[in-house]
Each structure stands twice: as C-alpha cells, then as structure tokens.
Structure 1
Amino acid sequence: MQSMSDYYSAVQLRTDRWSALREALDFLKREPEGRKAAARRNEIAKLFDSLSLIEAYWAFPGVASFSHMHRQFQHGNIDDAAFSVRRVLRALTTGAYRRRHIPLDRDVADSEENEDEAVLSPEARALTKPYFEVMIVDDLNEHQERWLKNSLQSMRRADDQFTYESVVVPSLQDALIGILFNHNIQAIIVRPGLKLESKVELPVLTRYLNRAGGIDEIEEIAPEDYGPELCRLIAKVRPELDAYLVTDRSVEAIAGLDLGICRRVFYNQEDFMELHLNILRGVQARYKTPFFTALKEYSKQPTGVFHAMPISRGKSISRSHWIQDMGAFYGPNIFMAETSATSGGLDSLLEPHGPIKEAQELAARAFGAKQTFFSTNGTSTCNKIVVQALVRPGDIVLVDRDCHKSHHYGMVLAGAQVVYLDSYPLNEYSMYGAVPLKEIKHQLLKLRAAGKLDRVRMLLLTNCTFDGVVYNVERVMEECLAIKPDLVFLWDEAWFAFARFGPTYRQRTGMHAAKTLRDKIKTPHYAKLYEKQQAKLRDADDETLLKTCLLPPPGSRIRVYSTQSTHKTLTALRQGSMIHVNDQDFKGEVEQSFHEAYMTHTSTSPNYQIIASLDVGRRQVELEGFEFVQRQVEAAMSMRRAISTHPLLKKYFKVLTAGDMIPEAHRESGVTSYYDPDQGWTDIWNCWEKDEFVLDATRVTVVVGGTGWDGDTFKNKILMDKYGIQINKTSRNTVLFMTNIGTTRSSVAYLIEVLVEIANDLDDLLDDASRMERLSFEKRVKNLMHDLPPLPDFSRFHDAFRTDHDTIEGDIRSAFFLSYDDRNCDYLELDGSIIDAIESGREIVSASFIIPYPPGFPILVPGQVVSREILAFMRALDVSEIHGYRPDLGLRVFTQAALDNHAGLALAKPNNKKGD
C-alpha cells in the first residue's frame, strides 16, 4: 500500500484505497486461513480506517453504507463485505451511481451492474438527468441527519431537471475540505448549528485548508459569524458554487456582512420545498446555454433556404452523388445547424442582442470578467482586436519580446512605439522564462525620467508562457501602477483559460487579480499603507524603487484585458477564443474603439458551431471545471513523479522542476520541486501565493538530450511516427508534454510505458555498440546538453526607427512597411556577406520577422539591428524551420540608402524630438 506522501490528491488516494480494499477482501475470501491471511486482515483494517475519514465528504456510498461494510468485515462476513465493496468500486469507476440507485446487498440483483457510462451512446447519456451533490453543514446526531436528508429527498419530483444527493458535515473546516475535495458538490446549505474545527487529521485532506485562507485566518472567526464567513470563504476558493444560509440571526445583523456566494438567506425555518427549488434553480442558472439551445431549436425548424451557403441544412450534400462520405462522417446535425441568417433567434456575433449576448454575459460571470467577447478566429485575432482598440499611433507599449507573433503584428497595425522586454534566458534548455518585474519597472522609470510616461499606454505579457512560467499578476500590476497609475494591462492567457477553475491557479489570472486590486485599493486600511510608503519613499532614487514592492495610489485605474484560447485548454472547437475585460474606463473611453476593432477583425460569417461550443464549454467549466482541472493537475503530477523516480528513465530523461526553470532570485518561497522522492509532495499554495514566478505543473518539460536525439527529432521520428503520441512544442534538447482536462491516468500510464520502452531500446543499442558508435552517441549528447549557443537578448532598434537616444522604444510599423518596396532591401548570407558587412562596421538591420521554430519566438523584428550574438545564435541553430529566412538567398536586410533616406524623412517630420 502506497504511503500518504505518494499522493498529490485525496481523490487519487480515495480511488486507489477502494481498489486496494477490493483486492484485499477478494484475496481473504479465497484464502481465509492462508499464510498471509493475518497480514491481509491488518491491511484491510487500515484501509477501512483511512477511507472512513474520506467517505464522510461523499454522498455515495454514504457514511451509513460504509459503516455497514466495515461492520461486515469486523464480524467476519468477508463474502458480504467483498461483494459490497466490489459493487461500490464498480459504481465509482463507471459513474453508475450518478444515474441510478446502486444496491449493495447480495440479495438485491442489479441488472445494469456492468454498464459503463463511458460506453453509453451520446444520445443515451444526454437523456440521463445530470447528478450532483449538496453539502449540508451542521453538527447533527445520526437521527437528525437522517431526518434532514429524508426531508430534502421527499421534495423530489419526476419532472425535476436534475437529481442530487446530500452529504452532511459538522464543521466549517470540514465544509472547506469537502468542497475542495468532492467535485460533485454544486450547492451548500449552511445551518446555524455548525462548529468550527474538524476532527480530520489526514495531511492530504487538511492541506486543502490552506487554499481557503489557512488555519490561522479560520480560527479567528467569531462563533456567531461561522455561517456567513463560511459563505465568504467558499467564494474565495470555489466561486461558482451556490450557498444557502439558514440563520436565526436578525436581518440587521446579517445585512452588513459579506455573504460571498450566498444566493438566499432562510430565517430559522425549514421550508424544504423552497430550498429544493432554489437549489435546482441555482444549478439551472449555470446549466443554461442560450446560444447552443437556440441553435438546436433552429435545426429542428422547417425552413426554405434562399440565402448563401448551399451546405445549409445539408442540402448540397444530401443531393450529391460524390460527397456522401462527408455527410456520413460528420452526421446530419452539424449541417442542420448551419446557416448564414441571423433570424430564428440565432443572433449576430457583430451586433449581439439575443442568445449570443446572453451567452457572453454568462461567460463573463464564469470567468470573473466585467465583459466577455467571443471570437471565432482564434486568440491571434483577439490580441489584435485589443491592441487596435487601445493603442493609438505613437503610443508606447511594453511587450515581452518572446510573445506570440500576433502581438508583434498587432504593434505594426496599431503603429505603436515598442519597448521590447527581455525575459531571463534558460540557455541550457534553449528557451526563455519570463520578464522579471525589475526589468519592467526599470523601463518604466527610464520612460518617466525622459518625460514620456504620458505616452506609455500598455504592458503586454504572456501568462502563462508556453513552457509554463506564470507571473505574479497582482504584484506586477500593483508595482507598475505605482509608477503609471492608468497603465493598461493585456495578459495573453492563450494557454491558461483553465486556470480560473483551480483555486491555486485562479489567483494568478488577470481577471481575478483585477478584481482583487479593485477591492483592495478602495479600503481605508490600504490608503494608510500607501501614505506610509509614500512618506518613506519621498526622496528615493531609482535603485531604491527597484528594490521596493511599490503600492499604487488609491485612485489608480484598474484596466485589465485577458485573451484566452478556450479551444486550447477547455472544451471548444478550434479557433474558439474569448476576450475578457475588467477595465474601469471601458465604457467611457474604449467601448467605441473596441467595437470598431472587433468589427475590423471579426468575420461577417462567423462559424455558429464554434460559438455554440464556447457556450457549452462555459457551461461545463461552471459545473465541472473544478473537477476536470483537479484531475488534470493530478495527471501531470503523477507523470512528474513517475519519470523522476523510475531508475531506468532517469538515465536518459529529466523532468525540469521549478528550480530548473525559475532562477532562485524569483522564488521567494525557496521551493525547487513540487515532488521530492524522500519527502513527497510540496504544498504549492505557498509559492503560488508569494513567488514572483511559479511553474504551471500541468506542463511537463522533459529533457531528452540524453537520448542523443534533439527535441524535434524525438517529437516527430520517435513519439509521433513510432508511437502516435502528439505534442506541440520542443526546444533543442527538450519536449513539452501538456496535460489538459481530457487527460486520463491511462494516457499518463501509456506515456510512461513508451518512455520505458525507448530507454530499454537505448540500453540494448548501447550494449551492442562498438567503441566508435559509443563515442558518436556521447558526442551527440554533449552537443545537445552542453555545447548550446547562448540565447540573445533584444539588441535595439536602428536609429532610423527611433525618436531619440534616451529610451529604447522603436517604430516597428514604419520598418515593416518600408520593406514592402524591394528596392529598400537586400539579402546577405549568414556565412558570408553578412559577416563581412558587420566586420566592416556597418549596422545590419533586419527587414523581416525572423522566427526559428523551435523555439518559436522572433529573434529579429523589422527595424532591429543584427547583433553578433543574434548572428551567432542563428548560425548555431539546427532547426528545420526559420520563418522569414530564405536559405537560398540569406537574411533580408535594409540597404544603407533606405535607412539613410528614412532617417531623413523622420527628421523632417514636425514635432520630431530626435536629438533632443
């Protein structure tokens, strides 16, 4: 039996304990007096003891049934206990308990015992009533608990849209553990009899209390405030849930309290029917999908099609003699729901007023935004919409240089003056981390000293990065607003949409941090803190400001935008994305320009199926996002542990830890790894709350250089071609395995099997290798693991594209369009003419974006000077693709005449400050 420290999650612990209990009971049933019988009995007793703590938080099988099974074992009824445990495990594994009553007695037949929910047809599963659980928080005796459960159960009606079971816990602490442990819970009834402390002492369970504010904060709550405070604390960790407060306190005593997620207060009464209806109504509010429902209804309507799109209603397919296979592959519904009309209640994405508008409002609620906008053209388009809406020609924008290329092109379209920020390099793995906060503050202070702070418009950062480095979003915004109180923030969360639905992850999302900041800076306590810091920093120099955690003035404007590729990490069709907004000045300053930018980049023929999938994807995460994200993190953590501890895999592979990917200076918690073979799992809440950067555990970067294959070869020739394993990203010596909400434990097990097979094959190959073959292998490994070119920083924009020498911003737009005239450009060979030109003292300036893949970020942008470091990096690259580079011609650069001419034109412009 695995120890507690081997489990990252109590859900995994629960599943494995039930499986182990079934195996042990089956063994004891076969050999009741065997040599190992005594050891098995001892093991079973321990399993029942550990499960007794866990099962108190779940409605199935329930405490009463579990206690009955435990007594069966204690009284020697091994056959009966084994039968009941087997049925429970089967129901938990197949999900059958969510659809019907599961009899646990041997005398009661179960004709559907072997029915697995996963093998049911989608039509059959769609007809099943969705199941959830309701947690009742009250310190009750066994009789009172049974009466309360039965009273609620008696309110059920045949036409109820959902079905639920109840689970009762006695204390505030148990409730917090329960809602973070039991993903089936959708509603909480908080009654006046609850107490404070839990009797549970299982570390893997009590670890959850930290995520709800920690033991210390909870212990300070006054007894009369247990109920209202529980509603507030639940809102902090699972804001999507509904709470119902039953209280005997007066209206006046309740009115001034923060009731968090409480939907309704019941005053000292047992109106079970009203409570039952409110529970169903609360779940229905999250279950509704306005646009998906409208689209389904439209597909059922008889229509005559006299508009564009022959494929509408499937007419052009059903009449065809040659493309019937397309209709058979996709099925009829996708075509029945296809139209170019906005009638029939379908609404317009460009001017929403019906179900699309309502669907976007529900998405805003789910993701914690003030406004949310759907996009059917991917996050690349979302990025360009936000940049165009907010940035005017000449505005200064601070951008992380290794961000997605859509941002660079967005700067071109908007005519921004770009300040490129350098991330810290990870040379040994050929990848970048993220931009240190000190670097951002340094550039803002330089701009302030140059008198340009009024032109600074936006800070644009990728959170989290492709490789999983996550910013301390709230801290970044706080300190930047302290220097520029109306700065706009655009957080590219293309790979981070799932984060909203994990309590640990949520605190580092743009929308959550925006709300937290807005609430924080309004308080009188904060105003005092700010005034105290201002007095201390009255004559501070820049070096002091760089070292100080700065506080923004209470009057700062919180202006935050997040773009998310919903399709990348949640359930949505490809190119389904969202823009989330929490901008205090959106209505007064941005709304019209945002509308124009949205109209500019959004198709007038958006794909309705993508919109519907965004609507349904939102429903899913509001009702089961917590469960799916929890399982996603569990799968990734299991993968990390398996690779890190397997003796054979450690020879050829290494899982990069937070210590490998984040320099010590940016890890205030001191945490270097989320798993240690000797100490078990680290509670990551502490580092996610404090550290400047943290590592998203769902992205598992594995160093494969020890195999002698570079990342690209390992991805394509080994994983994909030989084993059918698909991944997105590689670097020169790493591959990135990304888990998602669809990743299963079986998928992780298959990957481990594949890696073990690869390692075994390498062992066999090296065992039979000649001396020269071994030397060749060692040389390849050395080249991949040790002889790596240093990653270059951004050099600078050429003077022709700068306004002065005080600060580093450059005009990327004019450089981009200057290259449209071929007469302004030339080609220089990397191993020939370009070296000669640099040696002669000439400044070589790129006329194109140059993007090697991998790693996939631009190492040159239009108008950037080609440095010796960049040239050395390009020459050392051995990747298959360098976008923007022509191997047959060389690097596209500006001619000296073009640069001189452009510089002259720039000097001639009015109000030009060149040379000031």
Structure 2
Amino acid sequence: MSEFSAQAYNAWWQARLDAWSQVEEEADRRVRSVDPERAEAMTAAIEKDLELLSHIERYWAYPGKDGFLRIQELFRTGGPVEFARAVAQVKRGVSADYSYGATETRSSSDLASDGVESLEPNGTGRQRYFEVLVVERMTVEQERALREDLRRWRRPDDEFIYDIVVVGSGEEAFVAMWLNPTIQACVIRKRFGHASSHDLSLLSQFLDPGVRDRLDRHTPRERIDILADELSEIRPEVDLYLMTEVAVEEVAGSLSPHFRRVFHAREGLLELHLSILDGVAHRYRTPFFDALRSYAHRPTGSFHALPIGQGKSVVTSHWINDMVDFYGLNIFLAETSATGGGLDSLLEPTGPLRDAQQLASEAFGSTRSYFVTNGTSTANKIVGQANVGPNDIVLVDRNCHQSHHYGLMLAGARVSYLDAYPLNEYAMYGAVPLTEIKGKLLDLKRAGKLDRVKMVMLTNCTFDGILYDVQRVMEECLAIKPDLVFLWDEAWFAFGRFHPVYRTRTAMYSAERLVHRLRSPELRERFEEQAAALGDDPDDETLLTTRLVPDPDRARVRVYATQSTHKTLTSLRQGSMIHVFDQDFSGKVAEAFHEAYMAHTSTSPNYQILASLDIGRRQAALEGYELVQKQLEFAMRLRDAIDNHPLLRKYMRCLSTADLIPEAYRPSGISQPLRSGLRNMINAWDHDEFVLDPSRITLSIAATGIDGATFKSEQLMDRFGIQINKTSRNTVLFMTNIGTSRSSVAYLIEALVSIARDLERKFDEMSPWEFDAHRRAVARLTAASAPLPNFGGFHEAFREPSDPPTPEGDMRKAFFGTYADGACEYVLQANVEERVRAGEKLVSATFVTPYPPGFPVLVPGQVITEDVLEFMARLDTPEVHGYQAEVGYRIYRGSALPAPKVPSSPNGTSTSASVSVDGLPMDGAGDGSSPEPAAVASAASSRRRSSRSRAGAVAGAKSAPDGA
C-alpha cells in the first residue's frame, strides 16, 4: 500500500486495518520465498506500509507507541519468522477492535519484548473495550505511569474496559478524534501544545489552520474551551473531562458546557476512572430493552389479551409450533399487553420508555424525542396535526412522501405546493430551491396571508440523496415569517447526526446552531445593517436575491425532524422517531402534540419495535461514527470499482454531484466533493445550497438498453437476489448503510460485471435488426423524457380569492367532495387529452403517483394540464397508483364541482351559494369557466420569474460524468 493509495480512504481505521493485513501477508510471503529478488521486493513493500502506519499508529492505544517501535525494530534487526509472528498477532489484536464487543484486554504492555503478543482474557469475558484520549504533553515515562495508574483501578466485574491514547497538542487531538472511532472519552489537561511536533502532512485534511492560530493566540484557560468546542464539533457524543491544578471551584463555573466533569489533578485518578466508566455506561443504558428482557423471564399469568403472550398459544400447538423454531422463544416471551410490572405505556410514559426517549433526545441533539411504532408515515401525520389546523397555510415540497399529502388533507390545511428543480434526463426531481420557498412566502405576504402561514415541510435528504443547507433555509425564511414551523422529513437521514460533515446538514444540529446564532452580537449587528440597507418596503426581487438575516428579537426556532430509524440505523421495521427542537413547544404545541400522538398511535404498540429503537439508539451513540464512516467508505469503493472497470464503464456510470445538482446551486464549483478530499467536501457542505450524500449511488444504465424497472426486477433481483428500492426510467439507486459489508459490495460488483458480460455476448450474436432494436432502446433511454410537470394549480373551487392571487388549495375539501354519489367519473387517457386540448378544465379526484419516480403528478382538486398528460403518455413505468389504464383517470364531474368563492362584498358577505350533493355540503355548482389556476399562479409569481430563469435554464443541463 503506497502513501497515494492511503489517501483514497475515507475511513482511516480501514486504511490502518488494511495496512496491517498487507504487512502480515507480505511478511508471510517473505518467510516462504526462496527467490532473493522477490524477498527484497516484499521487504520494500513492508517498509512502505510501516511508513504509513508510523503516521497513524500513535492515535491508537494498541499496539501503542512502544509496541509499534518494537515491530519496527524487529523489521530492521529481527529474523523474518520472528517478525511475521509478531505482525500476525498484532493484526489479530487490531482486528478485534472492529469485532464489536471485543472481549480481550489490549495495551502496549501486551506486546512482549520478543515481539510476541500476550492477550489476557478479562475478568468476565464480556467487557466492552474502548479507548480514552488524553491531551497533555508527557514524557514516555509519564505516559507509562499514567497508563499503569489507571489500570490499577480496574475490577473484574467492570462492564467496560479501556486503554489510553496520549497526544501532546491540540492538532493531534483533532486528528485522533477523526481517525480513531473507538475513542469514547477525552481527558484534557492544561499542559498541551497548539501545534504537533510530528509530521502531519499526510493527515493535513483533518486540520483546520484557523483553529491552530486560535489556540496559539489565547491563554491556557481559553485554549481549553476552544479545544473542547472543536472536539465536540467532530464527535459530540464523546465525554470530555478536564484535569487542572488551579482552583477547580473557579474553573467549574466558567467551563465550556461540553465538559462532563472537572477534576483536581492532585486528588488521584480513581474518581476520573469511575466517571469515564459511568459516562460510557450512561450511553450504553437501554432502559426499555432491559425492562422488557427482565419481564420476559418472569413467569406470569394472563387473564387479559394476547394469547400469544409468553408463547402460550404457540408452544403447545400441534399446528403452529414451528413459529418457535423460526423466530425463537424470546420474541414470544416478550409479547405482552401489560404496561406495568416494570414496563411502561407508550401513550403516557413515566418509566423506562420515558428514560429511553430521553436518551434518544441526548443522542440526536433534540430537546424532546418520541418513539413511533407505525413508521415515519405516522410520525409525519402526528407533527402535521399537532401544528396545523384547518385553513392554516402550509408550504410543502410537491415531491414529498405521500404521508404528508394525506396528513395535510386530514388536517384541513391549505396546501401551497413547492416545485423542485427537475432532472429531465433522469426522470427525477432534485430539491426545492430557496428562491422558490422565499418567493411563495413573499407572495402570501403581499396577499395579506402571511399570518396564516404555519409550516414548511421539506424532505432532507431526498430519496436520491440531495441535501439542503438546513440552517440557511430556516434563517432566511424566519427573516420573512419569524414564527414559521419547519418539518424536516429525515426518513432516510437518521444516520446523519453521527458524522462530522453530515451532521451540519441535519435539522436538530441546525436548530441548535441557529439558537446560538440568534443570541450572538454578530448576527444582531448584521440584522441592523441589513435592515437599514433594505429600507421599510424592499421589493421582492431584492429580497429573493439577498441572503436575509432574521430579527433576533422576533425569530423563534421551531423545528421538527421525523426519522425512519429502521431505514438507516438499527431497528425493527416501522421503528421511527420524532425529534423536537421547538422553543414554543410547551406554550403552544404540547397539548395538541399529545392529542395528535394519541390519535395516530396504537394503544397496543409492538414492544419489540420499541425495544429495538432503544437498542438502535445505544448503537448509534457508541459506534455511530465508526459505522457511518464504514458506510461512506464502502460507497466510495463501489463508485471507484464501477467507474474504473473497463467493461462496466461501457454500459454504466455513477452519477456525480455535478450531474444531480445544477451549477447554480453549487457556488463552491466542486463537481465531486468527496473525491477531491475531505477539506473540499467540508467546503462544499459549508457553502453549497445543495449537496449530494455520497452514500447514495445513482447508476445510469441507459447504455444497456434496459429500463430501470426491468433492470431491477429481472437482472438484480431475479438473477442475483440483490434488493434495491428506487429506479427511474434509466437509473437504479444503490444505497450503502451501516449494515453494508465489503463482501456485499464485492458481490454487487460481481453481479454488475456478469450483466455487462451477458450484454457483450448478446451483441456478438445479434442479427442486424436485433441490433437496430437495441440501438433504438438505448437512444430512447439516453434522450430526455417528457419534461417533468410542475404543479399545475388547484381548481378555483378549492381556492379562496385574494389580491394578488395565491395558489394554495383546500385538498381536504377536494378529497371528501368525491364521497358524494355521482361526483366523479372515469375518463380514458385519449379522451382526457382531447377534452383538455379543447379547453375543458378537468379536475383530478384522487392522487395519481407513478412508481418510479414516486411523486404525485396529480392530487385531489388539481387541474389536469397538457404537460401532465404528455408526461403520463410517455411514462414507461408499469406501476401507477391511482390510475387504471382500463378505465382512465378519476375526475370530478363538472356539475359536482362547488362554485368558486368570490371576494367578499362591501358588507362583508360572500356572494357564493351553498348546495348539497347527496347530503354532502358543497359551496356550489361550478361550470368550469373561471381563469386557469396555473395562469393565476403564474401571474402571482411574475415578480420573481427572472431570478428563477437562470436556475431553470441549467436544471436539465447534462454535466460532466464525475464521481460524487
């Protein structure tokens, strides 16, 4: 492994493990080699790998600095056999760190002077191992003494065991926190340097020069806080401790809030040792899982519900006892409807469930967290109903999950849909530009409706991996509407909290940062300067193009995130969470939230799901950083394998950031951020409006001539058993997750290569007319499909008049209006096309959602436009929800449409009539003769058309085929 190849790694613990594996292999081959020239080449390869390891081994406790020096000495002066034995045993010890729940004690003293490792079993055989970072300048003798002092306090019945990594500078502390995922605690002492005495050029991507300068310029007391803040930005879950020789009473009152405890350096190490163990034990706790496990092993008598409880209806059955063989007994022992006996009620938690949710809140950075057992579909409806009432206006991404559409319909909200930028070439949408959101808010402000705007709902990240600049979106929207509520649907992004770069784009992190920012003097000064520059009534064009600053005296941070824990972290199916960071929750939302939670949550929740959420939180809190690093590493290896394979490159291509995010939304100008290095990735994620999650690999397969749905079903699933979820007409989406293994990545690559080889063989055997058919298929998939349709507008019967007009509609009224007998009819595609071209206004009576791409092209009350029909006519997906080709579209009859409301007369009364269709109250019968809603919406948006044209012009542009 050369230094250059090491730079290709994103998870450096993986580079380290691979380097030790390669040293072991080369050392073994050198022992067995009889060719002096080959043995010399192996020696040179070992020397290169040891050089790489010399830069990074100091950031791990095992084999430690002494142990690694002995390995180097054996390489220089020992025999090949002796060296090979020592390396093999070190490799086993290093690998044990990554077999979770390692059961052996490791330290630098475990490497004997002869190079042979002696691994001593711990007292119980069940202790979990982790490492503690100590930041202080020490001599070798002082470091050994500290290690031995801490080891003296170990007890055989300790649940955890740890060793220490000592670094002498702030710079090295940053590197260690990035590199070593086994670090679970950090002890900072005052005597540390700002700059490292070691060569860190290979690891410079982990260093921020600005931090080094700040450490250099400040007093020792200030440097401690700076270091604590920076380390917490990298790994907020790691417990920080301070040891000082000054008056701890004075220091404790002014410490950074990131410190868990402060200790006097002369009072011994026992309390520090116990605190370190207690800190890890706190995150390791699983209150509900433990309670359920305890309950499951108690004999009980049930005279209530659940015959299956404790397996009683199963284990004695002659016909279904094979369930026990398949599932195991414990799952039945834990089945109960009890909320007492050590358990708890999900609807009114006061015991272990309450504690489990509090631990989730700490892990995910919220002020409150709630478990949901019906998936994020239910979580979205709970948050929506808790915050939105009838006639409140909600801005929502039209391409969001269907649960948002249905939830808003049930709540009776007035829905104003937001259009994302289109990617016509791949038949998918990106995300909603900030100018689109601001423009809708400004339109509503001009119409006098801003007070009714309650919430913005956005998906972060999208199915295809597009991520918003969450903090900027909220800042600029709060500058227009200071009490706006935000719901960020993070169904596919629960893992984002546990990586330093991803975290900055999460809802809870952004909410916390926004609170601090609103309290800062710098933001207040910026707001006052901007207010003076803009004046009393700035025009909309200026507001659209200005980065707005919220009023710190008026803005309230009100943020909700819904996450599918089961999708990207560890949980049983349907396990989800709601995270809340709402400054007005207690005063404005608490009661409504409780009622919404009661309305949508089962009174018989599945305790196995709840226990798995508790366990999944524990895993994320203790090893989330390592697992997300692994997920990212394997994704990049998959990209490299596809893009660099000579055969795969002929038929497939991994779409890049530049392919999926137009240049207008990437001011950094970086087309492949992660492949350009960590610093470039951080730069892009700090400044670009949208970024791409590199763990999502969208593979363009147009050159195969096979559409996405067929490629998924007939090739990946039927032939190889490879499961994926999303396709488009010419792409398939692969997602790595924290459960992805290197073997599964290798298997996918094998499968893709096999598919490509089959294509090669078919080409060799094709007749001329078969080749022409294939060429036409490739041309069809390579060319852009019909332009993706934007939302055409609600029929005026489901809108209310305003001046200027605004596009929000009453989807509840449109949905339930179809319940009246005779209100709807079915019309075939060809007849709908003919009637729309003739100028007739047809209104959808239901949701119509093609899979793929998976967004509703029609919703109840929406006017059917020609671009929607063209898109549907050219759609080549077999699955369309809400549309049956045999009978056509379900639409409103013209006679059943309620009469549109008209502006109030001077005396304040409306002139519209009220009729009833089969007992269902309606506002009146419409003749479909009023102005086209799309035209009305267009007129309302004319002031900002020019600012959007630039983004629209580049949205569908084909970009260079670079990697993410």
* Normalised TM-score (structure 1): 0.95
Q: Which amino acid aligns with 2:618?
A: R
Out of 705, 710, 718, the residue aligned to residue 702 of structure 2 is 705
1:707-786 pair list within 5 angstroms: 707-786=704-783
CA pair 174-682 structure 1, distance change in 2 beyond 3 A? closer
Distance in 1 of aligned mates of 2:600 and 2:770? 55
CA pair 156-252 structure 1, distance change in 2 beyond 3 A? closer
Map Cα deviations across residues 435-459 of structure 1 (whole Å, 9 max, x no partner): 0000100110010011100000000
CA pair 557-485 structure 1, distance change in 2 beyond 3 A? same
CA shift, 1:91, in A, is: 3.0
CA pair 106-29 structure 1, distance change in 2 beyond 3 A? farther
Please state if 1:907 is matched with 2:912. yes
Distance in 1 of aligned mates of 2:436 and 2:137? 53
* 126-135 or 463-472, larger mean C-alpha shift: 126-135
**Could you say which residue in structure 2 is the equivalent of 1:842?**
840
Distance in 2 of aligned mates of 1:201 and 1:895? 77
SS at match of 1:702: strand
Preserved CA contact (<8 Å) 1:311 1:317: yes
CA pair 112-365 structure 1, distance change in 2 beyond 3 A? closer
Out of 83, 86, 99, the residue aligned to residue 85 of structure 2 is 83
Map Cα deviations across residues 626-684 of structure 1 (whole Å, 9 max, x no partner): 111111111111111221222211110010111000010101111111465xx677731
Distance in 1 of aligned mates of 2:840 and 2:434? 34
Preserved CA contact (<8 Å) 2:85 2:116: no
CA pair 111-71 structure 1, distance change in 2 beyond 3 A? closer
Distance in 1 of aligned mates of 2:575 and 2:124? 23
CA pair 814-217 structure 1, distance change in 2 beyond 3 A? farther
Out of 892, 895, 908, the residue aligned to residue 893 of structure 2 is 895
SS at match of 2:516: helix
Out of 169, 173, 189, the residue aligned to residue 171 of structure 2 is 173
Distance in 2 of aligned mates of 1:357 and 1:435? 36
Out of 306, 310, 314, the residue aligned to residue 309 of structure 1 is 306
Preserved CA contact (<8 Å) 2:252 2:262: no
Out of 56, 60, 63, the residue aligned to residue 62 of structure 2 is 60
Q: Which amino acid aligns with 2:584?
A: D
CA shift, 1:608, in A, is: 0.5
Out of 39, 42, 45, the residue aligned to residue 43 of structure 1 is 45
CA shift, 1:260, in A, is: 4.0
Distance in 2 of aligned mates of 1:724 and 1:484? 50
CA shift, 1:6, in A, is: 2.5
1:548-567 pair list within 5 angstroms: 548-555=546-553, 556-567=555-566
CA pair 200-867 structure 1, distance change in 2 beyond 3 A? farther
Please state if 1:378 is matched with 2:382. no
Distance in 1 of aligned mates of 2:776 and 2:253? 71
CA RMSD of aligned residues (A): 2.5
Preserved CA contact (<8 Å) 1:194 1:227: no
Out of 344, 348, 366, the residue aligned to residue 345 of structure 2 is 348
CA shift, 1:528, in A, is: 1.2
**Could you say which residue in structure 1 is the equivalent of 2:652?**
653
Paired positions, count: 902
Preserved CA contact (<8 Å) 2:86 2:115: no
Preserved CA contact (<8 Å) 1:7 1:681: no
Preserved CA contact (<8 Å) 1:482 1:552: yes
Distance in 2 of aligned mates of 1:648 and 1:667? 32
CA pair 94-524 structure 1, distance change in 2 beyond 3 A? closer
Please state if 1:99 is matched with 2:103. yes
Q: Which amino acid aligns with 2:556?
A: R
CA pair 308-252 structure 1, distance change in 2 beyond 3 A? closer
**Could you say which residue in structure 1 is the equivalent of 2:948?**
none
CA pair 717-629 structure 1, distance change in 2 beyond 3 A? same
Q: Which amino acid aligns with 2:406?
A: Y
Map Cα deviations across residues 11-61 of structure 1 (whole Å, 9 max, x no partner): 222122112211222232223761133333232222212101111011111
1:345-494 pair list within 5 angstroms: 345-494=342-491
Map Cα deviations across residues 720-772 of structure 1 (whole Å, 9 max, x no partner): 11011101111111111011101112211111121112112211221222222
Preserved CA contact (<8 Å) 2:794 2:863: yes
Map Cα deviations across residues 499-520 of structure 1 (whole Å, 9 max, x no partner): 0111101111111111101111
Distance in 1 of aligned mates of 2:398 and 2:619? 35
Preserved CA contact (<8 Å) 1:21 1:47: yes
Q: Which amino acid aligns with 1:631?
A: K
Out of 51, 66, 73, the residue aligned to residue 75 of structure 2 is 73
SS at match of 1:89: helix
Distance in 2 of aligned mates of 1:540 and 1:328? 71
Q: Which amino acid aligns with 1:249?
A: V
CA shift, 1:822, in A, is: 4.0
CA shift, 1:222, in A, is: 3.7
SS at match of 1:292: helix
**Could you say which residue in structure 2 is the equivalent of 1:118?**
none
* 763-772 or 215-224, larger mean C-alpha shift: 215-224
**Could you say which residue in structure 1 is the equivalent of 2:961?**
none
**Could you say which residue in structure 2 is the equivalent of 1:31?**
33
* 91-100 or 608-617, larger mean C-alpha shift: 91-100
Distance in 2 of aligned mates of 1:361 and 1:220? 39
Q: Which amino acid aligns with 1:826?
A: E
**Could you say which residue in structure 1 is the equivalent of 2:156?**
158
1:489-504 pair list within 5 angstroms: 489-504=486-501
**Could you say which residue in structure 1 is the equivalent of 2:145?**
147
Distance in 1 of aligned mates of 2:527 and 2:202? 39
Distance in 1 of aligned mates of 2:719 and 2:125? 40
Preserved CA contact (<8 Å) 2:558 2:584: yes
CA shift, 1:411, in A, is: 0.8
CA pair 151-682 structure 1, distance change in 2 beyond 3 A? closer
CA pair 824-127 structure 1, distance change in 2 beyond 3 A? farther
Please state if 1:136 is matched with 2:134. yes
CA pair 720-213 structure 1, distance change in 2 beyond 3 A? farther
**Could you say which residue in structure 2 is the equivalent of 1:120?**
none
CA pair 36-796 structure 1, distance change in 2 beyond 3 A? same
Distance in 2 of aligned mates of 1:610 and 1:331? 16
CA pair 203-476 structure 1, distance change in 2 beyond 3 A? farther
SS at match of 2:789: coil
CA shift, 1:252, in A, is: 6.9
Distance in 2 of aligned mates of 1:729 and 1:46? 43
Preserved CA contact (<8 Å) 1:195 1:226: no
Q: Which amino acid aligns with 1:785?
A: T
* 473-482 or 354-363, larger mean C-alpha shift: 354-363
Preserved CA contact (<8 Å) 1:221 1:229: no
CA shift, 1:198, in A, is: 2.1
Preserved CA contact (<8 Å) 1:80 1:106: no
Preserved CA contact (<8 Å) 2:392 2:413: yes
Distance in 2 of aligned mates of 1:306 and 1:269? 61
CA pair 244-29 structure 1, distance change in 2 beyond 3 A? same
Preserved CA contact (<8 Å) 1:87 1:104: no
Instruction: Percent identity, please.
Output: 52
* 804-813 or 411-420, larger mean C-alpha shift: 804-813
Distance in 2 of aligned mates of 1:625 and 1:526? 33
Preserved CA contact (<8 Å) 1:374 1:611: yes
CA pair 451-127 structure 1, distance change in 2 beyond 3 A? farther
Distance in 1 of aligned mates of 2:695 and 2:707? 23
Map Cα deviations across residues 831-861 of structure 1 (whole Å, 9 max, x no partner): 2x11221122111110000000011110000
SS at match of 1:18: helix
Q: Which blocks of at least 5 consecutive residues in structure 1 are unaligned?
A: 116-123
**Could you say which residue in structure 2 is the equivalent of 1:119?**
none
CA pair 715-200 structure 1, distance change in 2 beyond 3 A? farther
CA shift, 1:561, in A, is: 0.5
Distance in 1 of aligned mates of 2:635 and 2:569? 16
SS at match of 1:134: strand
Distance in 1 of aligned mates of 2:124 and 2:862? 56
* 690-699 or 633-642, larger mean C-alpha shift: 633-642
1:266-345 pair list within 5 angstroms: 266-345=263-342
